[in-house]
Structure 1
Amino acid sequence: MQTTLTRELPPGELNTAQALSDVSQAWDSDILHQLTEYIQIPAKSPSFDAQWAEHGHLETVLRNAAQWVEAQKVDGLQLEIIRLPGRTPVMFFDIPATKAETSHTVLMYGHMDKQPEFNGWRNDLGPWTPKYEDGKLFGRGGADDGYAVYASIAAVQALKNQNTPHPRIVGLIETCEESGSYDLLPYVDTLRARLGDVGLVICLDSGAGNYDQLWLTTSLRGMASGILKVEVLTEGIHSGDASGLVPSSFRIMRQVLDRLEDSATGRMLPASFHCEVPADRLAQARATAAILGEEVYKRFPWAHYDCEGSTSFSLPTTTDPLQALLNRTWTPTLSVTGAEGFPALKDAGNVLRPYTAFKLSLRLPPLVDAARAVQEMKALLEDNAPYQARVTFETGGGATGWNAPGTTPWFESALNAASLAHFNAPAGYIGQGGTIPLMNMLSQGFPTAQMMVCGVLGPKSNAHGPNEFLHVPYAKKLTAAVAQVIAQMP
């Protein structure tokens, strides 16, 4: 009989190999199946499904997840689905502490609402048709962020399996994040007394610079959005008859947008939309640029074509890795994410269109106040319209970004230990260009809490777009890393 020698662990220390084995088994035997069923449900966020309550998809995915959590029989866990009138529901669970010497609470966060379908999916893939291929689970929402509640509970079970003492752990799973979490604050207010003294927040809704190490998100951009509409006529008219006399609504739209953005460079013109990059974030960006190099920009699906054996690629705004990181995390940028007033190409005749409408998405640096940016944006776009056209900006609200608090010694040590144990590489630090509204709320409510903001959205994972996937091997290691960090919380 062969005997395996193992290091005798001090009482309360987590055996990291066993933890990874336990969470991997949970993923393979159950979680993958749960996420496959989850992906099939079009649980679109309220901003993309005005009839979400009648359709019941958000209720279904939350109830399914709650039933799975309760079926895990986590010792001491109490769970409830809370519904405030007219608001999307949330799940709240509470697991009592087994570590006597701490009064802090760990708050685990996730969301189950999804972005809409989008087009361009690979022929054999689709947003609601999950497919598991080469360690990747394709489909809308699995990585953003349906997996979070399952991974959170699997991490807790890894602690329980080894009788590793842990602080009190609470979970908050919402269904409005992709709409800006406008329903969440009332729930946080309702639950504030029950959250306790939060010392660590674990949010698994973020990204990863690569799949080779644990990545901590250090900042998130904010967002201001809305619909800009330019109206010139009450109905479409023959373009040959009217063009040259009736100004094009599209040309006026371009003029109005030029007040906001330098179209040649993409630089946002209002000075108040910019902020200085803090010195510590700049130093972290330099270190991350050295790790990732060209992968910072090569990770995106650039359009290209082959012509007589040569390949021509679309180019990024910069090929300098450091500047590329700063551009996508600390620079304000404008995107047009939707348009109205245009016929389909096959239906486009010789008609001067009566109006042009764009949906605008303005990403703001982490330290810029979103509410003020929305107000300035509205005034700038609507004032003194060319040709006295009717120009309106219907705001879709805003969410201020987030800059992580300073990292305490225990937290930094725990992150590096977890990354070395499961990836054989130290933890990396990276800012993200997206927005998680909850993080700014929690930093204000719990200013001394450490923020473990991580996620599986690494290269090519393409959240919100076509062919979105969850990188399962990385998710397993991240789940085990979460367990290890909780175990080391003082």
Structure 2
Amino acid sequence: MEYQAYFQQNREEHLKELGELLAIPSISALSEHKGDVLKAAEWIADSLRRAGMENVEIHPTDGHPVVYAEHLHAPGKPTVLVYGHYDVQPVDPLHLWETPPFEPSIRDGKLYARGATDDKGQVFMHIKAAEAILKQEKELPVNLKFCIEGEEEVTSPNLPGFLESHQDKLAADVILISDTALLAPGKPAICVGLRGLCALEVSVFTANTDLHSGTFGGGVPNALHALVSLLDSLHDEKGRVAVEGFYKGVPELTAMEREEFAKLQFDEDKLKKDLGLSSLYGEEGYSFVERTGARPTLEINGMYGGFQGEGTKTVLPKEAHAKITCRLVGDQDPQDVIDKIEAHLHAHLQPGATLEVKATEKARAFTIDPADPMLQKAADAYERIYGTRALFTKDGGSIPIVETLSRVLSAPSVMMGFGLPDENLHAPNEHFNLENFDKGLLTIVEYLKSL
């Protein structure tokens, strides 16, 4: 295979270039890294130019910039828009990293660095796949565009506006995204569903000051007691969310969908062992993959208040706080879910306490019919390289911009991921298995040529 030889010959140089990108601490959530995020955008733009892409532009936004590029010399052929992101998550806790997060290193066939799998490594593969085709064949088999943003890790606040105002520039027949994972080594997957998201911060207040628990305990409300009671009311004893109307818009799983989930042959016992758990937990009547791929959730992500130092402090805290996120499916409306949770919280608040609720993130769920020809061709491309046809899966996570991209540009989103579930994305020691770097390059070339 000519491309296999090409990528093997250039592998060392490609990994060196990728290492340069990974060394840039482009953490979009931290304002002190604003200059680094811009530096990463400039690096992506330069890489696209070197690859042979044209009209490369860095578009400023109210936050971090969007990088655009195109190569439109295939009249009558489909137009592919590659979407990805060059920003990364914060690196805390730093002491758990075996090697510094922005000093890329290769160990046991894995490339370690923040952003290695999410999403710099996967974006880089698309640039190099396009470069390879142009160097080998002097032309691309499709019209190709790139839209690479710097705010995905902070829920893409400025990209929807950019999409709306640049619809003609970004128009495409298919949106190609690599920001997901294979099921397991050698088992490719194409995600046809992502859960939506909404997030809230809840604060409970009681007295106007912390109080001595001996003098006041048992006679006045305790903010932590009130918060715990409130959070406990959010689920019933069978793991269902107890908020009235929460399940509005949630489709019941069809027999065919349950059959597809069963094909994944997910080993729940192995998961329990790997996580050191005696049992799993969740909504009664559903398997683990059904709960995490196709059912909505309400999770408490953090709670705090009162004395947390060493030793004992006999105090009744005047305030307590919690962070809640929900994963949404089907036609659940994020704002409607937030409104219903807030109403539930007010209705179940203990006497003597007051409540504040602040909504933060909101995103709708995304689904696509796996019968779409663009997805079928992607599954075929995986089969030709991996020897196994990709399964169509639903991912429990959220990539909020995917639904927006598909809706605004009226094009199917094909999520061809090359990561693995255990690559520590968002965690210390993030890494990318280089076997999938090698096979991913070939798969992307195969897919573009098949269109």
Query: TM-score, normalised to structure 1's length?
Result: 0.83
Please give the secondary structure, in 2, of the residue aligned with 1:171: strand
Please give the secondary structure, in 2, of the residue aligned with 1:388: coil
Give 2:441's aligned residue.
Answer: 479
| Contact in 1 for aligned 2:114/2:431 (Cα 8 Å) | yes
| Contact in 1 for aligned 2:141/2:448 (Cα 8 Å) | yes
| Contact in 2 for aligned 1:341/1:356 (Cα 8 Å) | yes
Identity %: 22
Residue-by-residue CA offset, 1:184-211 (whole Å, 9 max, x unaligned): 1111122211123x11111111222112
Give 1:182's aligned residue.
Answer: 157
Please give the secondary structure, in 2, of the residue aligned with 1:173: strand
Q: What does 1:173-252 correspond to in 2, within 5 Å?
A: 173-196=148-171, 198-252=172-226
Residue-by-residue CA offset, 1:132-185 (whole Å, 9 max, x unaligned): 211222232221112233111112123223426422111111111122211111
Query: TM-score, normalised to structure 2's length?
Result: 0.89
Residue of 381, 388, 392 corresponding to 1:418: 381
| Contact in 2 for aligned 1:226/1:393 (Cα 8 Å) | yes
Q: What does 1:91-106 correspond to in 2, within 5 Å?
A: 91-98=67-74, 100-102=75-77, 104-106=78-80
| Contact in 1 for aligned 2:190/2:390 (Cα 8 Å) | yes
Residue-by-residue CA offset, 1:445-480 (whole Å, 9 max, x unaligned): 244x33211223423123222332222211321232
| Contact in 1 for aligned 2:156/2:400 (Cα 8 Å) | yes
The runs of 5 or more residues in structure 2 that have no matched partner are none
Cα distance between partner residues in 1 of 2:306 and 2:415? 40
> What is the deviation of 1:27?
4.6
Residue of 119, 128, 148 corresponding to 1:154: 128
The answer to whether residue 432 in structure 2 is matched with residue 454 in structure 1 is no
Give 1:5's aligned residue.
Answer: none
Please give the secondary structure, in 1, of the residue aligned with 2:351: helix
Question: Cα–Cα, structure 1 residues 322 and 203, in superposed 2: closer, same or farther, change >3 Å?
Answer: farther
Residue-by-residue CA offset, 1:415-456 (whole Å, 9 max, x unaligned): 233222211111111110111122111222244x33211223
The answer to whether residue 333 in structure 2 is matched with residue 369 in structure 1 is yes
Q: What does 1:316-355 correspond to in 2, within 5 Å?
A: 316-317=280-281, 323-346=287-310, 349-355=313-319
Question: Cα–Cα, structure 1 residues 39 and 246, in superposed 2: closer, same or farther, change >3 Å?
Answer: farther
Give 2:259's aligned residue.
Answer: 286
> What is the deviation of 1:335?
2.5
Q: What does 1:422-437 correspond to in 2, within 5 Å?
A: 422-437=385-400
| Contact in 2 for aligned 1:23/1:155 (Cα 8 Å) | no
Q: Which amino acid aligns with 1:59?
A: L
Q: Which amino acid aligns with 1:405?
A: D
Q: Which amino acid aligns with 1:396?
A: T
Give 2:428's aligned residue.
Answer: 466
For this pair of structures, how many residues does the alignment match? 448
Cα distance between partner residues in 2 of 1:319 and 1:20? 46
| Contact in 1 for aligned 2:163/2:405 (Cα 8 Å) | no
> What is the deviation of 1:488?
1.4
Please give the secondary structure, in 2, of the residue aligned with 1:91: strand
Cα distance between partner residues in 2 of 1:128 and 1:460? 20
| Contact in 1 for aligned 2:80/2:176 (Cα 8 Å) | yes
Q: Which amino acid aligns with 1:83?
A: P
> What is the deviation of 1:398?
0.7
| Contact in 2 for aligned 1:286/1:322 (Cα 8 Å) | no
Residue-by-residue CA offset, 1:373-418 (whole Å, 9 max, x unaligned): 1222223223463123121111003100101135334641x22332
| Contact in 2 for aligned 1:88/1:176 (Cα 8 Å) | yes
The runs of 5 or more residues in structure 1 that have no matched partner are 1-16, 305-312
User: Which runs of 4 or more aligned residues in structure 1 lie more than 6 Å from their structure 2 counterparts after TM superposition?
Assistant: 318-322
Cα distance between partner residues in 2 of 1:77 and 1:457? 28
Please give the secondary structure, in 1, of the residue aligned with 2:256: helix
Aligned CA RMSD, in angstroms, stands at 2.9
Cα distance between partner residues in 2 of 1:324 and 1:314? 14
Residue of 401, 407, 419 corresponding to 1:438: 401
